[in-house]
Amino acid sequence: KASIIGMAQAVAILPGVSRSGTTISTGLFLGIRREDAAFFSFMLFIPAILGASILEIPSISGNPGWTALLAGFIFTFFSGYLSLKWLLKSLKNQSFHLFGYYCIALGIAILIFM
């Protein structure tokens, strides 16, 4: 199941495709509990962000670059942690079907009006 979810994550390379949405949805289709699918999805984020960060290191020059990288890391870590806690709590109490319909409607509207 983990391999299938990991392969589904690759679909998110397409513009406009949500990485977390794809991996959570795949987990749900595979019969994984909502909370576990969301947690696993966010754990998959760690290698992706580490890889992207490593690729960006050569383009950082001087102290302002490292300072900005460190500040961005700290802010992202804490905001991601709080978001994950909120999401997992929400997943225990409610469904996200309405959010899915909203995303579909918004995507169609963007395609029509852009």
| pTM for the predicted model, two decimal places | 0.62
- Tell me, what's the pLDDT at 32? 93
pLDDT in tens, 81-113: 888 788 777 777 777 677 678 778 888 998 898
Question: How far does CA 51 lie from the centroid of its chain?
Answer: 15
pLDDT in tens, 5-64: 989 888 888 887 888 888 888 998 999 988 888 889 888 888 877 888 788 777 766 666
- Tell me, what's the pLDDT at 51? 84
Give the DSSP letter string of 34-94: HHHHHHHHHHHHHHHHHHHHHHHGGG--HHHHHHHHHHHHHHHHHHHHHHHHHHHHHHHH-
What residues contact 12, with CB distance under 8 A and at least 6 apart? 18, 19, 22, 23
- Tell me, what's the pLDDT at 64? 64
